Amino acid sequence: MSFDLASRLAERRAADLFRLRPLLQTPQGPLVQVDGQKLLAFCSNDYLGLASHPEVIRALRTGAERWGVGGGASHLVIGHGAPHHELEQALAEFTGRPRALLFSTGYMANLAAVTALVGQGDTVLEDRLNHASLLDAGLLSGARFSRYLHNDAVSLANRLRKASGNCLVVTDGVFSMDGDLAELPGLCSEARLKDAWVMVDDAHGFGTLGATGGGVVEHFGLGPDDVPVLVGTLGKAFGTAGAFVAGSEELIETLIQFARPYIYTTSQSPALACATLKSLQLLRDESWRREHLQRLIRRFREGAAGIGLSLMDSPTPIQPILVGDSARALKLSALLRARGLLVGAIRPPTVPAGSARLRVTLSAAHSEEQLEQLLEALAECWPQVQGDV
């Protein structure tokens, strides 16, 4: 008896769902070389253009010279370096919370927070469109797990009435495939009525939303009492890598004591923490990056409407073009690539069946001229896939 892996792969190819890894041969930026081809890319989450910023690179190099490259051990053994500690303090201040805790990835941060806070006898309620890491965390927690309708406070309220034990309501801040915002005021209000905690993964909101780039919680004027558990990633607007959870003294100590993804892993590179400290400074000091990004978003939506593209309700740098059929989405992506533009086709199971799309992502590193180049190419290519079935 053996695993029939070949048949599984063949089925995925036949359904136009087979995934390929593009080989990036240049640093992150609008102009890249992928698989030997020079392209203008609109598919990176480097929203503020910090991933290749000279000052961030210099901070990484200087940090490595002083602190070395590897973390060496877990934070609880001897891997918690001074740069990690300084970054946690800076992130706590940035989010307006007593403490923050670093993780190597956003996936780990979400697994850690959910599984440390709830277990058997408790309840986890999640938005149906949450990121896979949040859904996996809910399933692995051992708590009663239920998904409410997307951004629907009434659906959440119905599930809250059936909740038992400690109850954790979990949502993305910005939904990564649609680009829309969680309706946090309504969700938090319902959770408060049932004495439930709210956890927000604001991976795509930090740096891009809010008056100071503080994310979706700042955008809605909410605070720690509304959202006790706040998760952010550092590989998107911050331009580096890793993640953090921010919250109360008791929350962070609970994660340190009980979160297995934190306890049983080597810390991230201390040099990377040095780089992130610099990117956080740039994020806070250079508000022009957010302002330029907002201009690009407005112009893209205006231009796309003129072409007749089917966009989703997104005020963020994530601007999906809804195509529907996976084969058509792949064709549109290929047509754009032939014109020198890289925009990825997103297909099931990442998104629901029948909702394949091109996920355009904008960056403060894009120029207005580059955006116009994308719009011109879309105007040429979109009619060519309209009649396809």
Question: From its phi and psi, is residue 266 left (phi > 0), alpha (psi between -120 and 50) or beta?
Answer: beta
Question: Whose CA is closest to 190, among 164, 223, 221, 151?
Answer: 151
Cβ proximity of 97 and 72 under 8 Å: no
Q: How far is CA 3 from the centre of its chain?
A: 33
Catalytic residue among 53, 75, 236, 366: 236
Query: What strands lie across the sheet with 229-233, from one edge to the other?
Result: 99-103, 243-247, 229-233, 197-201, 167-172, 123-127, 144-148
What phi-psi label fits residue 372: left (phi over 0), alpha (psi between -120 and 50 degrees) or beta? alpha
Catalytic site residue from 204, 278, 331, 366? 204
Give CA–CA dist 153/184, Å, rounded.
Answer: 9
Cα radius of gyration (the chain) = 21
CA 375 – CA 379 distance, rounded (Å)? 6
Q: Which listed residue (104, 176, 269, 333) is catalytic?
A: 176
Is there a catalytic annotation at residue 236? Answer: yes
Q: How many CA atoms lie within 13 A of 232 on its CB side?
A: 30
Instruction: Give the catalytic positions in this structure.
Output: 176, 204, 236
